[in-house]
Amino acid sequence: MQKPPPYASTRMGTAGTILQGVDMRTHGGRRFKELCADLVHHLHGIPSPPQTQIIRRAAALAVWCEAAEVAQAQTGELDIASYTTASNTLRRLLTDLGLTSTAVDITPALSDYINAGDVK
């Protein structure tokens, strides 16, 4: 199947819009764009069309989870089944993109200990 020419494409297909009918000036819209940009940056370049779809789904779920966390902090209520389902789906999407957590050695060097005067 061939991609349609620009004159036959939707605004989303030509990158003319991000989410059809959504005011991207809202907090959720701005956060969605930030998260998409962060994920694209993390992939070091221009994502493939399938990666773009996964990025969009992951960003949408992350925005939803953040809103649920705010609601929980304000009211103390959280639909734990929906939240855990969304969180696990988000984790799987990020794994599909190849994003994994890596351990970072934060142990200070011996010279830092000595210079700080902690070791005598």
Question: For residue range 51-105, what is the model confidence (pLDDT) as tens digits?
Answer: 999 999 999 999 999 999 999 999 999 999 999 999 999 999 999 998 776 777 8
Q: Identify the pLDDT of residue 43.
A: 87
Torsion of CA 34, 39, 45, 46, to 10 degrees: -80
Strands (E), 18-102: none
Total count of residues recorded for the chain: 120
Compute the distance between CA of residue 68 and CA of residue 25 in angstroms, rounded to an integer: 20
Helices (H) and strands (E) in the chain, counts: 4, 0
Percent of the chain at pLDDT exceeding 70? 78
Put simply, whether the predicted model's pTM sits higher than 0.75 gets the answer: no
**With contact defined as beta carbons under 8 Å apart, do 18 and 33 qualify?**
yes
Q: Identify the pLDDT of residue 14.
A: 47
Compute the distance between CA of residue 95 and CA of residue 89 in angstroms, rounded to an integer: 10
pLDDT above 90 for 13: no
